[in-house]
Amino acid sequence: MKNKHKIQHGSIAYSDLNKPARPLFSKRYMIAGKPDYIVKNDGNYIPIEFKTSKYESPQKNHIFQLAAYCHLVEENYGGFVPYGILVYNNSSQFKIAFNPGVRFDLESTLKDMRHMIRSRDVVRNHDDFSRCRSCSMKNYCDKRIV
């Protein structure tokens, strides 16, 4: 498969960009997701996520999403995922280490999210109109600000 984005050496093991791929599922965390690409490089599977927006530095929510993909790749492909890659606007890219700190943050954030869902008392944690505008849950969310 041709790597038209030229973002990483290695072979493409998975792609959700050219045609829809099957979601990866985690039994441990009960989450599912589809990275844009998974590239096999030096024996490691590396998830890659593309964003159309342009940022000078990696955004926290994107780091979290990529960390979840790193975990999904470990659980579904086996082995150790050392990092994932975030690509903004097809121009800048950031290597995000899947280190013990990020792994801990992922686990505790997922635990918090589960707790919030069970408590049914969810509070919006931002005042960003554009986030609500592009949110897939906006039609069901009574906290939206658009």
12 secondary structure, DSSP code: E
Q: For residues 21 and 135, which CB has a smaller minimum distance to ligand SF4 in the complex?
A: 135
Q: For residues 9 and 124, which CB has a smaller minimum distance to ligand SF4 in the complex?
A: 124
Q: Which residues 114-143 are close enough to bind ligand SF4 by CB under 6 A?
A: 124, 131-132, 135, 137-138, 141, 143
Work out how close the CB of 94 gets to ligand SF4 at its nearest, in angstroms, rounded to a whole number: 23
Q: For residues 103 and 144, which CB has a smaller minimum distance to ligand SF4 in the complex?
A: 144
Q: Which residues 19-78 are close enough to bind ligand SF4 by CB under 6 A?
A: none
Burial of 52 (0-12, 13-18, 19+ CB in 10 A): exposed
- Report how many residues bind ligand SF4 under the rule CB under 6 A: 9
Q: For residues 22 and 133, which CB has a smaller minimum distance to ligand SF4 in the complex?
A: 133
Work out how close the CB of 140 gets to ligand SF4 at its nearest, in angstroms, rounded to a whole number: 8
Contacts of residue 70, defined as CB under 8 A and 6 or more positions apart, other chains included, come to: 47, 81, 83, 84, 98, 102
Dist. CA 65–CA 63, nearest whole Å: 5
Dist. CA 40–CA 131, nearest whole Å: 32
